[in-house]
Amino acid sequence: MGQSKAARLRPAVQYMQQVGVSPARTWNQFVEQLDRKHGRQLAKHLVDLMTGQLQLETNANSLYDVKNATLALSLDFATYSADLYRRFFDWVLSRRLDQVDSILDIGCDNGLATCFFATCFPAARVVGIDISETAVARARELGDRLRLTNVSFEVQDFQTFKESRQEKPFDLIISLRSITELIADLNNVHYWSIENLHQRLETARGLRPSDGTETIEYVSSTRSAIAVAERVASLLGPTGTFLSLERLTHAGALHAWIYALSQAKLQVDFAHSTWLSFHEVGIEQQFPLLSVKKGASETNDPVACTYKLLQLVSPNHVEMGRTLHDDRAVLAFRHSTDKIFVEGVHAVYPDGAGEERKEIWKDGRSILEYHLTDRGFRELTRYAKERLAGQRDALHDWMQLKTEQNCQCTLYIEPFEHGTNGLS
């Protein structure tokens, strides 16, 4: 099928054609291409590394070293994310940013995005940095292949990066999926409600004695998030823009990143922030795309900011008989203001494996069942009010089941802990 004339003219599409990267439509297509062009053994190795990384078991850096062994392999690997690149590139160009004399790409990998921006902003000085030597070697190769003279790449750890050659800060700083690697456990913050998470962050920041609720890794992830945000702030010009498109998998992680930005006196510019929709090997995805400026304002309150961003993508309520998941459930639960708590079960898994709750709430017309964990899982279902007795029985059965699974269970008829049940 031929592309429309408009699509043919889009710089993002043109560029992706030039580098020979088009979106893989399915996982099989992605793997088959690697298999056919680079051999079965390497394809299998990469798939194993990708799966391992998703399970947080493998050192992510080894994946980048393997997939960046050659530029051809690196570009074929990028077909997994080609739709993300195209949509991100389109979106950035639609912003019509002016006065962009210098651009920094944090965690540039093989330079695919960096070289796009160097192509579109030929008068700008564009710098890509990455901690992986192999990635930077491929990025330099790509820059040479595209005959770009305004781009340079450096092997640098962003945590210690200081621009040496030029004192002027950057007009545009980009992080495309890199922040979650710089702050390894950003997606692993534990929370019951965004408000509760925020209180805990504030407690940790104030270095008051621990109240026993925050864990060590939780506090350290917050500190490293703030350190990264502060480094961004130190490299960004006073009127510069920081674009952060991250794989933040739940509202708690989004809040933790916004909180860190606010601590570094960086604020989310709502008029230019959005959720980027794209597909990865045919699977629909949405990542928050934050446009960030220097300065602090009342709209910079991280709790309000998180909810405001969630509202850009989520409906405010759950229909009768329907279930909402993840951030949509968080928001719909919060928006249901006339609900009254009925009862809930709190289950603590053995060996610190996590905590889980199921709660029943009612309003005039219906009942709500909220199922949540301290690792970001959320599910909200609305039932007809006639189902109340049945759902309470089901809740008690669930408690029995969890007890048999060696969980420590508590049945509560008052909200479990003040301010931790989402009502705060």
Ligand X SMILES: C[S@@+](CC[C@H](N)C(=O)[O-])C[C@H]1O[C@@H](n2cnc3c(N)ncnc32)[C@H](O)[C@@H]1O
134 binds ligand X (CB under 6 A): no
Helix (H), strand (E) counts: the chain:
16, 14
Could you say which residues in the range 50-69 bind ligand X, by CB under 6 A? Answer: 64
In angstroms, rounded to a whole number, what is the distance separating the alpha carbons of residues 410 and 388? 20
Could you say which residues in the range 144-163 bind ligand X, by CB under 6 A? Answer: 157-159
| C-beta separation of 154 from 127 below 8 A | yes
306 binds ligand X (CB under 6 A): no
16 binds ligand X (CB under 6 A): no
Stretch that binds ligand X, among 49-57, 129-137, 331-339, 381-389 (CB under 6 A): 129-137
Among all chains, which residue has been given the structure tokens 């823009």? 241
246 binds ligand X (CB under 6 A): no
Task: Please report how close the Cβ of residue 61 comes to ligand X at its closest, in angstroms.
Answer: 6
Closest Cα partner for 201 from 265, 261, 243?
A: 261
113 binds ligand X (CB under 6 A): yes
Task: Please report how close the Cβ of residue 82 comes to ligand X at its closest, in angstroms.
Answer: 10
> Which tokens sit at 389?
């007795």
Closest Cα partner for 347 from 255, 412, 424?
A: 412
177 binds ligand X (CB under 6 A): yes
User: Across-strand partners of 383?
Assistant: 367
Question: In 268-407, where does DSSP find H-type helix?
Answer: 302-311, 326-335, 388-404
Tally the residues of the chain. 424
131 binds ligand X (CB under 6 A): yes
Give 244 or 420: the residue with its C-beta nearer to ligand X. 244
83 binds ligand X (CB under 6 A): no
Pick from 76, 171, 181, 374: which binds ligand X (CB under 6 A)?
Answer: 181
Q: Which residue is nearest to ligand X (CB)?
A: 107
Could you say which residues in the range 89-108 bind ligand X, by CB under 6 A? Answer: 107-108
Show Cβ contacts of residue 347 under 8 Å, excluding neighbours closer than 6 positions.
Answer: 355, 356, 357, 399, 402, 407, 408, 409
Give 128 or 240: the residue with its C-beta nearer to ligand X. 128
Closest Cα partner for 175 from 229, 215, 250?
A: 229
Q: Which residues bind ligand X (CB under 6 A)?
A: 64, 107-109, 112-113, 129-132, 135, 157-159, 176-178, 181-182
